[in-house]
Amino acid sequence: MGKAVSFKWMKQLFFILICATFFLLGCKKENEGKINNNIQTKQDSLSQSQERKEINKIIVQEDFYDFIAMFSKKRAFQLERVQFPLAIQVLDDDFELQEIAITQEKYTFLNFILPDDFLEYKQNIFIDAKHAKIEQRGLNNGYMIDYFFENKNGKWYLQSWIDASP
């Protein structure tokens, strides 16, 4: 009878162990599923965050001609788009270029929009992705100024000018 009890007890123990194993494996798979879902959620969140950063990196480039039109019409806009003190070069009495700094208080409003019948000088505009230059050349009067602009983060700013007019 001792062997029968022992065998019956071993069967019960074996059955309990089998049940416990299945139970633990089921819990493990359930936990793995939850862990995988958490990881996927975090990856999705990270992907969305990176996509938002990429979208923020896409900078809308301001059209130079639209910028010049606004720059020439609105004084407040012009003052926002000039980096003061503005280092410019002008001819001195010996016809040598000298650099001077213009503060916001001494700055005068610039207008690059010329009427069709304007005959004092002609204006040429050269643009690349980061820089632009407006050349103004007098018609038989010696007027010669180059204005330099820079594109920073999609917005144009007046950087400097060289006035080589006598």
Q: Cα Rg for the chain, rounded, in angstroms?
A: 38
Contacts of 155 (CB under 8 A, 6+ apart): 62, 67, 81
pLDDT of residue 71: 98
Contacts of 14 (CB under 8 A, 6+ apart): none
Q: Are 138 and 164 spatial neighbours (Cβ–Cβ below 8 Å)?
A: no
Q: Which ranges of the chain have pLDDT less than 70?
A: 1-15, 17-43, 45-59
pLDDT of residue 49: 62
Its pTM stands at 0.65
What span, in angstroms and rounded, lies between the C-alpha atoms of 59 and 11? Answer: 73
pLDDT of residue 38: 63
- Taking residue 71's Cβ as centre, other Cβ atoms within 10 Å add up to 24
